Amino acid sequence: MLKLINISKNYNPGSVNEICLFQNFNFTVEDGAFVSVVGSNGSGKTSMLNLICGSIGTDYGSIMVNNEDITRQKGYIRHRRIGRVYQDPAKGTCPSMTILENMSLADNKGKPFHLGRGVSKGKIEDYKVLLRSLNLGLEDKMNIQVGSLSGGQRQALALLMASMTPIDFLILDEHTAALDPKTAERIMELTEYIVSEKHITTIMVTHNLRYAVEYGSRLVMMHEGKIILDESGEKKKLIQTGEIMDLFNKISVECGN
Amino acid sequence: MALLLSVLEQGMIYGILALGVYITYKILDFPDLTVDGSFPFGAALSVRMIGEWGLPAVLTLPAAFFGGVLVGMCTGIIHVKLKVRDLLSGIVMMTGLYTINLWVAGTGYVPIFNKETIFDNEMVNSIVPSYLFQFKNVVIIFLITMAAKYLLDWYLRTKSGFLLRAVGDNDTLVTSLGVDKGLVKIVGLSIANGLVSLSGCLYAQQQRSFEISIGTGAVAIGLASVIIGTSLLRKITLIRVTSSVIIGSIIYKACIALAMYAGVSANAIKLITAVLFLIILVIGMDKKRR
Amino acid sequence: MLLLSGIEMEEEKKDMIKKVSVLMMVVITMVMILAGCGSKEGYSIGISQFAVHGSLDNCREGFLAGLAEEGFVEGDNLTIEYVNAQADAGTAALTASNFVTKKVDLICAIATPSASTAYNATMNTNIPVVYTAVTDPVAAGLANEDKTSVGNVTGTSDVLAVEEQLGMIRRILPDAEKIGIIYNTSEANSVSAIADYKEKAGAYGFEIVESGVTAMSEVSLAAADLVNKVDCITNLTDNTVVSALQTVLDEANKKNIPVFGSEVEQVRAGCVASMGLEYYELGKQTGKMAAKILKGEVQASALEFEIITEPSLYVNTAAAEKIGLILADSFVENAYECFDEIVVE
């Protein structure tokens, strides 16, 4: 379970360029939930993800994971129990290494990277099985450099790599935004499949309102660092894309966008 | 024959340097100028050990390597912890090392003509028959170079080595894997400068002297070797990258030696090197830009 | 379709070029192996000179003259290959290695870095090395403390006449207290010369103020700084500083401070005076040693290195005039050679 408690964060405090990101922001995610987060640019969605992952720190407040205070924990240490997929397919994989090598790397997350063999021969079959579930034919290309794969294939691989080891959360940062509609659809199906198979608590930031409505058990809309809509369970299932769109436009107009 | 042997000896010694430059330049994507300082550092340390301290020559190899590792660690710490840009960290180290190398060696020129070196000592001289003496150097250098190469190849296939390869390509991924990317960079810089320093140690013993200016331009020679090797030999899949880098170094030295043999003036050699470099870069241009 | 095949052709062409280049390398290697074989008429000498400046050039000319006097004339029975390393140690090493490949009969090395690289390259061969303008052959590892040779190497040393120079400066500047010396910290010959000067300066009532540089580009700043602190400057046989002599002279002239050279070329170029060596004579002496070795009369290993024992006084009255320094007539008359104009090449 994730809890963000009374988070406050300002950029450039005390100067002319001071931006208030969050003020007494609270957010809780229950285990097993699949939360979709939407909002306009600058609403704080990505900043919230960065706060959770440790890329930016808080000024005040705390972050608790399963009742453990991780506010002061360094970014890379938090990532041991987090899987993160970025918008840019290039960020989730290593282009100069092969698919097999990438998967071996991801498989070692959370464990020490010492002088043992990079690729465990015994695990190759396991990786093949995992790749087969993607239905992209990648299991036959395990020795090909990732750099030569298409954006969609790389993102699928990134998703797989992020969820290979046991993790507390899966953080999806607009992970379909850079893909064409058909590939985006595939990746969302894949996401749904992986999340339900492994029961991973997921937070997905997206600009695609339809995905936010169709996928996940909870819908959150953010605006200027605050949550203005938070529906889950039965109520969430009843929401239509059109409603969200209207709310979205209403806020945008208020801001003068 | 003497020319060929000289080219092979120099080519392989600088080949080890090229391996170090390969790690920082190609794998870590970090242009490391520390090399101009760590190459003479290994040389200075080895002449001090052999000359003034009178230690057995074989100890200079691990000493130079671990000395270089320390040097690389300093560069890494300056870059990672003090957040100094890659090029500048190298320049800071290179400058400081000038003084340090003078201290370590004693003065700017230290001859060790009549001391035992790794090539010329009781054990080696007793094993090798005197009519094969002219091949002593090249064989020993070959063995050391191959050892360095195979160790590096092995390392790049370990988990730690994978991280090294990842950090130059996509350091975000390294953080996503739960690893401190700064630490990985420091490790990479350490290993690279360890190799460079080892190369300097061999050079000093082959030249039987230390001269403070041998570091100037070392990184350029290393880069030239790396680029020549990787560009020309890329399509030949039988050859591993590490081997191609060493071969590149030998080719580079061969071209220079040949130019000099053909009577080209020493001044013109640098310009010719630049032109040669350019031709090779264009021929082997990397089309796969990410 | 056409475009695709066009690109394919490009790739094929590039592949061909690569294969050809690799093949070329192999051929070149073969050529190198065969390079060692060959014969020539008469004797061949490789001259490896470290840098371009007057003293070293004089050495070389003297060397050739000394050889000629003993019957080895260039063009007749002697071929000379002369390579100047332009103050780069790597080039000096390459040059020496090159000479060994060409199997020259003797290597003449001018200045310490050339001498040590030549000695290293010839260690496992029969080629003798005769050096000149090496200030401290013992420190360079080319000779033992008792002057005997360490191997197939011998030559002449241009050790500085420190006592005589100090005495001369005292005569010219009776009231001077501080002598400045600029030197390259990485030239071993300079480091030992500085120590020598410091040891002996006290007896003449002088204090030595040293200024170390690491490259020729730093000499200008060092000189500009030093001239404010001293009464005069004296030179060592430091290759870096001597190559940048004009810079030192410019700065010193601004403050009307005399610069004393270490040999005749420097005086000719504008130094006020010097108790120096005649590098031409030194070279000649070297040439004669080389001739003996070539004739087979003696091995290089059997010859002790030689020095010139009597320094000579050189004076440049024009230089003195320029800074308003008056030299006593009796002093000038005693000079071995007196220049009345400044010759800048």
Q: Is A163 on the interface with B (CB under 8 A)?
A: no
Question: Per-residue confidence at C48, pLDDT binned at 50, 70, 90?
Answer: very high
Q: Is B134 on the interface with C (CB under 8 A)?
A: yes
Out of B1, B114, B256, closest to residue C150 by CB: B114
Given a cut of 60, is residue C29 above it in pLDDT?
A: no
Lowest mean pLDDT among C107-116, C291-300, C304-313: C304-313
Count of alpha carbons within 13 angstroms of residue B135, beta-carbon side: 8
Could you tell me if residue B32 is left (phi over 0), alpha (psi between -120 and 50 degrees) or otherwise beta?
Answer: beta
Question: For the stretch C165-177, what's the b/e string if a residue is b when 16 or more beta carbons lie within 10 angstroms of its beta carbon?
Answer: bbebbbebbeebe
Question: Per-residue confidence at A254, pLDDT binned at 50, 70, 90?
Answer: low
Residue A229, SS3?
Answer: strand
CB contacts, 8 Å: B2 with chain C: 36, 97, 100-101, 125
Residue B74 near residue B41, CB atoms below 8 Å:
no
Lowest mean pLDDT among A66-75, A246-255, B182-191, C117-126: A246-255
Given a cut of 50, is residue C203 above it in pLDDT?
A: yes
Please give the structure tokens belonging to residue B267.
């001044």
Q: What is the 3-state secondary structure (H, E, C) of chain B?
A: CHHHHHHHHHHHHHHHHHHHHHHHHHHCCCCCCCHHHHHHHHHHHHHHHHHHCCCCHHHHHHHHHHHHHHHHHHHHHHHHCCCCCHHHHHHHHHHHHHHHHHHHHCCCEEECCCCCCCCCCHHHHHHCCHHHHHHHHHHHHHHHHHHHHHHHHHHHCEHHHHHHHHHHHCHHHHHHCCCCHHHHHHHHHHHHHHHHHHHHHHHHHHHCEEEHHHHCCHHHHHHHHHHHHHHHCCCCCCCCHHHHHHHHHHHHHHHHHHHHHCCCCHHHHHHHHHHHHHHHHHHCCCCCCC
pLDDT value at position A256? 55
Domain extent listing, chain A = 2-94+149-255
pLDDT value at position A229? 83
Nearest Cα residue to A106 out of A159, A53, A173, A169: A159
Residue B158 lies in a domain: yes
Given a cut of 70, is residue A4 above it in pLDDT?
A: yes
| Burial class (CB within 10 angstroms; exposed 0-12, middle 13-18, buried 19+) of C199 | exposed
Question: Per-residue confidence at A227, pLDDT binned at 50, 70, 90?
Answer: confident
**Model pTM?**
0.84
Q: What share of chain C is helix, strand, coil (3-state, %, to 5)?
A: 45, 20, 35
pLDDT value at position A22? 84
What is the tens place of the pLDDT at every residue in A147-191? 899 988 999 999 999 988 998 889 999 999 888 888 888 889 999
Given a cut of 60, is residue C39 above it in pLDDT?
A: no
Question: Per-residue confidence at C6, pLDDT binned at 50, 70, 90?
Answer: very low
How far is CA A249 from its chain centroid? 25
Instruction: Say whether B108 and C188 touch across the interface (CB within 8 A).
Output: yes
Q: What is the 3-state secondary structure (H, E, C) of C233-279?
A: EECCCCHHHHHCHHHHHHHHHHCCCCEECCEHHHHHCCCCEEEEECH
pLDDT value at position B263? 77
Q: What residues of chain C, 238 to 297, have a C-beta less than 8 Å from chain B?
A: none
The separation between the first and the last C-alpha atoms of chain A, rounded to the nearest angstrom, is: 35
- The mean pLDDT of C297-322, rounded to a whole number, is 86
Residue B17 near residue B39, CB atoms below 8 Å:
yes
Distances (CA, A) of C263 to C236, C273, C276: 9, 9, 4
- Residue B172 CA to residue A79 CA, distance in Å, equals 11
- Residue C91 CA to residue B267 CA, distance in Å, equals 9
By percentage, how much of chain C surpasses pLDDT 90? 32
Q: How far is A161 from chain B (nearest CA, A)?
A: 10
**How big is the B-C interface in CB pairs under 8 Å?**
122
Instruction: Say whether A118 and B158 touch across the interface (CB within 8 A).
Output: yes
Concatenating the DSSP letter of every residue in C113-167 gives HHHHHHHHHTTTSS--EEEES-S-TTTTTSB-TTS-BSSSEEEEE----HHHHHH
Q: Is A121 on the interface with B (CB under 8 A)?
A: no
Distances (CA, A) of A47 to A21, A43, A57, A152, C319: 8, 9, 10, 25, 75
pLDDT value at position B255? 85
pLDDT value at position B288? 39
Question: Residue A93 carries which DSSP code?
Answer: S
Torsion angle of alpha carbons B185, B191, B192, B193, nearest 10°? 110
pLDDT value at position C12? 58
pLDDT value at position B92? 95
- The mean pLDDT of C28-35, rounded to a whole number, is 53
- The mean pLDDT of C281-308, rounded to a whole number, is 88
Please give the structure tokens belonging to residue B202.
């061999």
Residue B233 lies in a domain: no
Instruction: Say whether B158 and A79 touch across the interface (CB within 8 A).
Output: no
pLDDT value at position B280? 73
Question: Per-residue confidence at C40, pLDDT binned at 50, 70, 90?
Answer: low
Question: Residue C202 carries which DSSP code?
Answer: G
pLDDT value at position C15? 60
Question: Per-residue confidence at C64, pLDDT binned at 50, 70, 90?
Answer: very high
Interface test with B, best of C17, C29, C102, C301 (most B CBs within 10 A): C29
What is the tens place of the pLDDT at every residue in A105-153? 999 998 888 888 888 888 899 899 888 888 888 888 888 889 899 988 9
Report how many helices (DSSP H) and strands (DSSP E) chain C contains, helices first: 13, 13
**How big is the A-B interface in CB pairs under 8 Å?**
83
Sequence length of chain A is 257
Question: Per-residue confidence at A214, pLDDT binned at 50, 70, 90?
Answer: confident
CB contacts, 8 Å: A83 with chain B: 176
- The mean pLDDT of C164-189, rounded to a whole number, is 88
Residue C343 near residue C268, CB atoms below 8 Å:
yes
Domain that holds residue B179: 2-215
Q: Is B235 on the interface with C (CB under 8 A)?
A: yes
Q: What is the pLDDT along chain B (290 residues), one digit of tens a residue?
A: 777 888 899 999 999 999 999 999 989 989 999 999 999 999 999 999 998 898 999 999 999 999 999 999 999 999 999 999 999 999 999 999 999 999 999 888 888 888 888 888 888 888 888 778 778 889 999 999 999 999 999 999 999 999 999 998 898 999 999 999 999 999 999 999 999 999 999 999 998 889 888 898 899 899 989 988 888 777 766 668 899 999 999 999 988 888 888 777 777 877 877 887 787 777 766 543 43
Beta-carbon count within 10 A of C130 CB? 29
Pairing of strands C129-132, C106-110: parallel
- The mean pLDDT of C264-285, rounded to a whole number, is 88
For chain C, give the mean pLDDT: 84
Distances (CA, A) of B106 to A233, B53, B99, B154, B210: 77, 12, 10, 37, 10
Residue B120 near residue B222, CB atoms below 8 Å:
no
Residue type, position B84, single letter: V
Sequence length of chain C is 345
pLDDT value at position B202? 96
Interface test with B, best of A55, A87, A102, A105 (most B CBs within 10 A): A105
In chain B, the number of structural domains is 1
Show which subunits contact B, needing at least 3 CB pairs below 8 angstroms: A, C
Residue type, position A124, single letter: I
What is the tens place of the pLDDT at every residue in C222-256? 999 999 999 999 998 888 888 889 999 999 998 89
Q: Write out the E strands in chain A.
A: 2-11, 19-29, 34-39, 60-65, 68-69, 82-85, 169-173, 201-205, 218-223, 226-232
Residue B254 lies in a domain: no
Out of B159, B160, B169, closest to residue A95 by CB: B169
- Residue A248 CA to residue A40 CA, distance in Å, equals 8
**Which residues neighbour A139 within 8 Å (Cβ) at sequence distance 6 or greater?**
A128, A129, A131, A132
As assigned by CATH, the class of the A2-94+149-255 domain is alpha beta
Q: Is B258 on the interface with C (CB under 8 A)?
A: yes
Q: How far is B57 from chain C (nearest CA, A)?
A: 18
pLDDT value at position C62? 93
- The mean pLDDT of A193-209, rounded to a whole number, is 89
- Residue B247 CA to residue B250 CA, distance in Å, equals 5
pLDDT value at position B237? 65
Residue B250 lies in a domain: no
- Residue B29 CA to residue B171 CA, distance in Å, equals 11
Distances (CA, A) of B179 to A109, A112, B164, C294: 8, 9, 11, 68
Residue type, position C172, single letter: I
**Domains of chain C listed by start with CATH number:** 43-158+280-307 (3.40.50.2300), 162-276+311-339 (3.40.50.2300)
pLDDT value at position B290? 36
Residue type, position C7, single letter: I
Question: Per-residue confidence at C324, pLDDT binned at 50, 70, 90?
Answer: confident
- Residue B107 CA to residue A16 CA, distance in Å, equals 56
Chains A and B touch (3+ CB pairs under 8 A): yes
Give the ipTM.
Answer: 0.86
Residue B257 lies in a domain: no
Rg of chain C over all Cα atoms, to the nearest angstrom: 24
What is the tens place of the pLDDT at every residue in A8-45? 888 877 777 788 888 888 899 988 889 999 888 778 88
Nearest Cα residue to B228 out of B272, B271, B278: B278
Show which subunits contact C, needing at least 3 CB pairs below 8 angstroms: B
CB contacts, 8 Å: B111 with chain C: 116, 139-142
Nearest Cα residue to B190 out of B164, B216, B170, B218: B164
Rg of chain B over all Cα atoms, to the nearest angstrom: 19
Stated as kind and residue range, the H or E segment containing C45 is strand C43-49
Chains A and C touch (3+ CB pairs under 8 A): no
